[in-house]
A and B are shown apart, each in its own frame.
Chain A
Amino acid sequence: MTNVASHFHSIKLVVGALCIIFLCAGCSVRRATLNDVLTPEQVSFIRVGQTTIRELADHIGAPDELTESDFGVVALYYWSDTKSAGLDLGAIGRLFLPYSPTMRLNKIGITPEQLQVVFDPQWTVRAYGFSRKSTDEPIIWFWPF
């Protein structure tokens, strides 16, 4: 009786492992990050008309780009968190078939973000703001439709 129970337990383990393999089969998860994320809390120290470019750099580092606009010099801080996931429905076939069928669903979400800080001629902050951002994309989300 014990022998039958342990045998049944082993079969359950094998079936469970196979289910996990089949669920993960063909899954591909990619993620690419550029620089550190800046949050509104991290720049709450900025006081318009008071904070200088030196103080800004001391708190959040040097900007990625400086450019001149009609309103003054603009410091740009860039960052992004790109998530991409795919499901290859033909992956399991590769284990059994000489021909590998390709049936893929892929989705990629590139979300470049920016903090823009405008300076007056004395290098104090005139204005600042974040680029628009939607809600966070899930990491695994391969349904493209």
Chain B
Amino acid sequence: MLFFKPLAGIVIVLTLALLQGCVVTRGTVGEPIQEEAVSAIKKGKTTMAEVVSSIGAPDRIVRGNDREIFHYYYYDGKSPAMMLILLNFIRMDVKSDNLYVFFNRDGIAEEVVYGKRTDRTRFKLWPFGD
């Protein structure tokens, strides 16, 4: 039993020594878009009020081609960093999800455009390469 205590101490000291200078940051903007709510929007049926009640008020309202377009967005950023005494590596990866719901003049959804990128956001420290 006595053997394990120094070993545990060494492991803790080594872990702390290896992790010193490590910085991990995560930042998000907005709320994640619920895919179930997106797939529940039926073209030609779902009303503007129903969209607002299931997803919430849009982040932006755009007017285009004489239509109202609701825009919902969500940003997710991951940033690992290694701040050593002589050498620093900092990397940040930010991606966004966007949902557009196009309404006709009667306030009925006629098109839904959704793109998800945030599932590909990664904590990648190495700044070189793609």
A: residues with CB less than 8 A from B are 21, 24-36, 53-54, 57, 60-68, 72-73, 83, 91-92, 94-95, 119, 121, 123, 139
Most buried by A among B62, B86, B95, B127: B86
A interface, over-half SS: mixed
Q: Chain A residues near B97: list those with CB within 8 A.
A: 62
User: Residues of B contacting A123 with CB < 8 Å?
Assistant: 65, 111
Residue with the highest number of chain A CB atoms closer than 10 Å, among B63, B88, B99, B116: B88
Q: How far is the CA of A29 from the CA of B28 in the complex (A)?
A: 24
A-B contact number at CB 8 A: 101
Q: Do the beta carbons of A73 and B65 come within 8 Å of each other?
A: yes
B114 within 8 A of A: yes
Q: Write the nearest CB–CB distance from A104 to chain B, whole angstroms.
A: 12
CB atoms of B86 and A32 under 8 A apart: no
Can you pick out 6 interface pairs between chain A and chain B where the beta carbons lie within 8 Å of each other? A28-B87, A53-B111, A62-B98, A63-B98, A66-B64, A83-B127
Q: How far is the CA of A83 from the CA of B128 in the complex (A)?
A: 10
Q: Are B88 and A121 in contact (CB under 8 A)?
A: no
B63-80 interface mask toward A, CB cutoff 8 Å, 1 = contact, 0 = none? 111100101010000010
Q: Is A62 in contact with B62, judged by CB distance below 8 angstroms?
A: no
> How many Å from the CB of A122 to the closest CB on chain B?
8
Q: Does B113 belong to the interface (CB within 8 Å)?
A: yes
Contact A66 B87, CB 8 Å, known A32-B92, A35-B95, A57-B113:
no
Interface pair A27/B88, CB less than 8 Å apart? yes
CA distance A64 to B60 in the complex (A): 12
In the complex, the answer to whether A29 meets B62 with C-beta atoms within 8 Å is no
- Shortest beta-carbon distance from A86 to chain B in Å: 8
Contact residues in B for A25 (Cβ distance below 8 Å):
86-87
Within the complex, which residue of A26, A29, A33 is in contact with B93, where a contact is CB–CB below 8 Å? A33
Q: From residue B19, how far is it (CB to closest CB) to chain A in Å? A: 19
A68-B64, A119-B65, A121-B65 as given contacts; A26 in contact with B95, CB under 8 Å: no
Cβ 8 A contact of B87, one of A24, A32, A36: A24
- Is B30 among interface residues, defined by CB-CB distance under 8 A? no
Which residues of chain B come closer than 8 Å to A66, judged between CB atoms?
A: 62, 64, 69, 71, 100
**Which residue of chain B lies nearest to A86 when distances are taken between CB atoms in the complex?**
B88
Whether A64 lies near B91 (C-beta < 8 A) is no
Q: Which residue of B lies closest to A92 (CB)?
A: B86
